[in-house]
């Protein structure tokens, strides 16, 4: 699955909320999301209008590794709503 090239940091934060992440704080133009499912994990997302592809890829790899699923499965869950 190709990653979207027009997703903002706030859009990604909203998508990650489906997986149990919550905005813990905002410092400047960065959001810090936290989850405790299945254990505590933090991810920082820049609040840019469009995330660079490498930044988006890095965030998705980090979240997928935490959830012990592939990046492709994570993308399917986020963009297609498959659980």
Q: Residue ranges of the domains in the chain?
A: 9-77
Count of beta carbons in the 10 Å neighbourhood of residue 33: 22
Give residue 82's pLDDT: 60
- pLDDT tens-digit map of 15-40: 999 999 999 999 999 999 999 988 99
Q: Rounded distance, CA 17 to CA 4, Å?
A: 18
As to burial, measured by CB atoms within 10 angstroms (0-12 exposed, 13-18 middle, 19+ buried), residue 5 is: exposed
**Topology of domain 9-77, CATH:** Metal Transport, Frataxin; Chain A (3.30.920)
Distances (CA, A) of 23 to 20, 29, 35, 70, 73: 10, 13, 9, 23, 23
pTM, 2 dp: 0.90
- pLDDT tens-digit map of 36-60: 988 999 999 999 999 999 999 999 9
Q: Rounded distance, CA 38 to CA 66, Å?
A: 9
């Amino acid at each position: 699955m190709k990653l979207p090239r027009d997703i903002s940091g706030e859009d990604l934060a909203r998508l990650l909320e489906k997986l149990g992440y919550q905005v813990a704080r905002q410092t400047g133009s960065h959001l810090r999301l936290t989850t405790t499912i299945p254990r505590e994990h933090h991810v920082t997302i820049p609040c840019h209008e469009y995330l660079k592809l490498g930044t988006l890829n890095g965030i998705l790899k980090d979240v997928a590794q935490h959830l012990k699923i592939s990046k492709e499965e994570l993308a399917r869950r986020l963009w297609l709503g498959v659980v």
